[in-house]
Amino acid sequence: MPGQQDEHSARGVSFTGDMRLRWEARSADNSLGLLEIGEKNARLLRAVLVSQEIHSEPGDETGDRGAVELARVDAKLDLLLDMVSQLLRRERPNMIETTVTLWLTGAAWSCQAEVVPAVGEPLWLELYVDARLAQPLHLPVVVTAVTGRGKESEISVSFDALEESLEDLLGKLIFRQHRRMIAQQKAEMRSENS
């Protein structure tokens, strides 16, 4: 499908993964509310990025006790985050789990909702970019496309009024996940050829 390929290449660096999300209509925003939500989003993204740095560091081959202790604390923190996340997910029953593609200026996902948003409609997108997080990102978006395929619809959105610092953090996350996805694909190809 050349049209679909053109659309995907125009998005630039992106990553695709299974995520929980929900959306709701967004009314006229006040700048104070957007600022507060932007700060919460930035804290969540920093937590994800730091967590990924800890997980990606190779262990010290010399048996450094500090590295071993850090790994133990990290594992305990992961367990605690998992438990809290499970509790909070029960409070958000309207969340759907679907495949989401995230890029620097927007996102797209498929769903089987009876009611889908209209093109041009401003929304709040609640998105769990990491299953270990207890809270989702709350992103102001505008619907750019809705396409139907049978009972399933694909919804594309563009981010709306994100602060530069939040864009930078989101960009780091997207680039890191994109790089991991490519490395994983290469590793799978090498194992198939072996």
| Structural domain range at position 65 | 2-193
Tell whether the model's pLDDT for residue 20 goes beyond 50.
yes
Q: For residue range 96-120, what is the model confidence (pLDDT) as tens digits?
A: 899 999 999 999 999 988 788 999 9
Q: What are phi and psi of 98, to 5 degrees?
A: -155, 170
Summarize the chain as % helix, strand, coil (round to 5).
45, 30, 25
> In the predicted model, what is the mean pLDDT of residues 136-151?
91
Name the domain count of the chain.
Answer: 1
Q: Global pTM?
A: 0.71
Interior angle at CA 10, CA 152 and CA 158, nearest 5:
60
Contact, 122 vs 26, CB < 8 A?
A: yes
List the CATH number of the domain containing 156.
2.40.10.220
